[in-house]
């Protein structure tokens, strides 16, 4: 009798889909985070999460075609969907754009480098305006933090200021006035603002956190 007929059949090793996808997701998020931290690129984080969700979906389809159990991939996909839904809801409800990355940011722009917008998803954003010689007329700046603290300071004394600030939940401090609570809205306008030669209009928003504006 041929003994080969009874030799054990070697089992084919299954592809570790979960590990491959986890590694790919970490690489995508890590590269995006690094580029944002180095100010090389402004990363649209909702788009990044959506791209990761697509990767997970493709991996689930591949695993299903191989007859493999989805394991943690399904829970990962559900978690990403929930995160995307929450971020989109917060952004739409409180009109705070989801861009700018994570972590602390310190900006001290000059007259030439002043940007009309500064944004951060989570962390503390410090914007110092002391190095700017504001031109005659009106200058507008929009600053937003989704989760965290927003500080605007060193506003020159020769500039008349109008500040409109809002927070879904948190605290707002503009010069010597303070507001706190839920759905907080505050507005401060310097005397003689309309006729001042140099005028600065600040639109400051946080979804959940603090806003501080000072000279």
Domain extents in the chain: 14-94, 105-213
Supply the DSSP symbol for 98. -
Q: In what order do the strands lie in the sheet with 160-174?
A: 105-107, 117-128, 137-153, 198-213, 160-174, 177-189
pTM over 0.75: no
Query: Does the pLDDT at position 67 exceed 80?
Result: no
Question: Residue 124 and residue 63: Cα distance in Å, rounded?
Answer: 41
The arithmetic mean of pLDDT across residues 187-194, rounded, is 95
| Residues 6+ positions from 95 with CB-CB distance below 8 Å | 205
CA distance 38 to 40: 5
Helix (H, G, I), strand (E, B) or coil at 88: helix
Q: What is the pLDDT of residue 49?
A: 62
Per-residue pLDDT at 70 exceeds 60 = no
Average pLDDT score over residue span 162-186:
92
Averaged pLDDT for residues 209-215: 95
Backbone phi, psi, residue 138, to 5°: -110, 135
Tell me the per-residue pLDDT of 43-62, one tens digit each, with 9 for 90 and over: 555 566 666 666 666 666 66
Least confident of 16-30, 97-111, 117-131: 16-30
pLDDT for residue 146? 85
pLDDT of residue 196: 96
Quick one: pLDDT at residue 173? 97
Mean pLDDT of the chain: 77
For the segment 119-147, the average pLDDT, to the nearest whole number, is 93
- Residue 153 confidence (pLDDT) above 90: yes
């Amino acid at each position: 009798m041929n003994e080969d007929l009874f030799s054990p059949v070697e089992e084919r090793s299954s592809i570790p889909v979960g590990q491959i996808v986890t590694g790919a997701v970490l690489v995508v998020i890590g590269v995006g985070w690094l580029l944002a931290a180095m100010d090389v690129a402004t990363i649209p984080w909702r788009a990044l999460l959506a791209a990761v969700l697509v990767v997970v979906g493709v991996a689930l389809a591949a695993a299903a075609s191989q007859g493999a159990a989805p394991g943690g991939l399904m829970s990962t996909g559900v978690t990403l969907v929930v995160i995307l839904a929450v971020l989109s809801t917060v952004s739409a409800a409180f009109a705070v754009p989801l861009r700018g990355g994570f972590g602390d940011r310190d900006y001290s722009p000059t007259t030439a480098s002043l940007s009309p917008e500064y944004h951060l998803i989570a962390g503390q954003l410090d914007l110092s305006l002391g190095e700017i010689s504001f031109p005659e007329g009106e200058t507008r700046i929009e600053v937003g933090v989704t989760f965290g603290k927003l500080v605007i300071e060193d506003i020159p004394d020769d500039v008349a200021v109008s500040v409109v600030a809002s927070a879904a939940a948190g605290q707002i401090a503009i010069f010597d006035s303070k507001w706190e609570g839920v759905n907080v809205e505050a507005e401060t306008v310097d005397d003689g603002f309309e006729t001042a030669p140099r005028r600065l209009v600040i639109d400051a928003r946080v979804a959940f956190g603090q806003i501080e504006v000072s000279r």
